[in-house]
Chain A
Amino acid sequence: AQSVAQPEDQVNVAEGNPLTVKCTYSVSGNPYLFWYVQYPNRGLQFLLKYITGDNLVKGSYGFEAEFNKSQTSFHLKKPSALVSDSALYFCAVRDAWDTGFQKLVFGTGTRLLVSP
């Protein structure tokens, strides 16, 4: 069965500094990996995904993520954080061998707080 770990409950960063939100995964086959962001009392918004190809994936709002197969990681990054990036971030994984209803497994979320 697949699983996702987000080891940090909260990440604090100053505006203008680079940010990293960590994610590690476990799947039987090849992973399909996703990042979502959630603002207070809102649904999840899709940021980016890795399916195959380039290990560095670029997404919305200047975010990118790096897939590292040997470390089974998919960390979310941004070169320069904005206060408006403060939100809850979820990593999710699907096993590429799952051709059924394609269940996504989510991490517990990491709260990003960007200070002015």
Chain B
Amino acid sequence: SQTIHQWPATLVQPVGSPLSLECTVEGTSNPNLYWYRQAAGRGLQLLFYSVGIGQISSEVPQNLSASRPQDRQFILSSKKLLLSDSGFYLCAWRLEQRGSTDTQYFGPGTRLTVL
């Protein structure tokens, strides 16, 4: 079966410091991968998605970037964190198949607090 991991679970960082959040998926190949941010415990905002290694699309221009160095690894980064980057970051995967109606499955999330 497939599992998705996120690391770390919680993170407290000062303003201006760099960021690296990691997401890895096991038990599948060539998944579509997604980064979401959830602010104030409510709505989800899609940040980035990736259909393959090195292929990243950004939904919202901002202080963050994403990379996919391996098939099942998705990294969210920042060179200098802002207070507004605080939130709950969720990674999700979906199996890529022609005409697929497959579901997006979410990881456990990373709680980021920028002070």
Contacts and interface: CB of A to CB of B under 8 A. Distances in A.
Interface of A: 32, 34, 36, 41-46, 49, 51, 88, 90, 99, 101-104, 106-109
Tell me whether chain B's interface is mostly helix, strand or loop, or mixed.
Answer: strand
Interface residues of B, number: 25
Tell me whether chain A's interface is mostly helix, strand or loop, or mixed.
Answer: loop
A44 B109 CA distance: 9
A102 B43 CA distance: 18
B32 A102 contact: yes
Interface in B94-115: 94, 99-101, 103-109, 111
A49 B103 CA distance: 8
Interface of B: 6, 32, 41-44, 46, 49, 51, 57, 88, 90, 92, 94, 99-101, 103-109, 111
Residue of A45, A51, A88, A103 with most partner-chain B CB within 10 A: A103
A34 B103 contact: yes
Nearest to B102: A102
Given A41-B111, A88-B42, 19 more contacts: A34-B104, A41-B88, A43-B90, A43-B107, A43-B108, A44-B44, A49-B101, A51-B101, A88-B41, A90-B44, A101-B32, A101-B51, A102-B32, A103-B46, A103-B49, A104-B46, A106-B43, A106-B44, A108-B43
Which 5 interchain pairs have the tightest Cβ spacing? A43-B106, A44-B106, A106-B44, A108-B43, A51-B101
A62 B73 CA distance: 34
A51 B102 CA distance: 10
Contacts of B32: 101-102
Contacts of B101: 32, 49, 51
Given A49-B103, A101-B32, A101-B51, A43 B44 contact: no
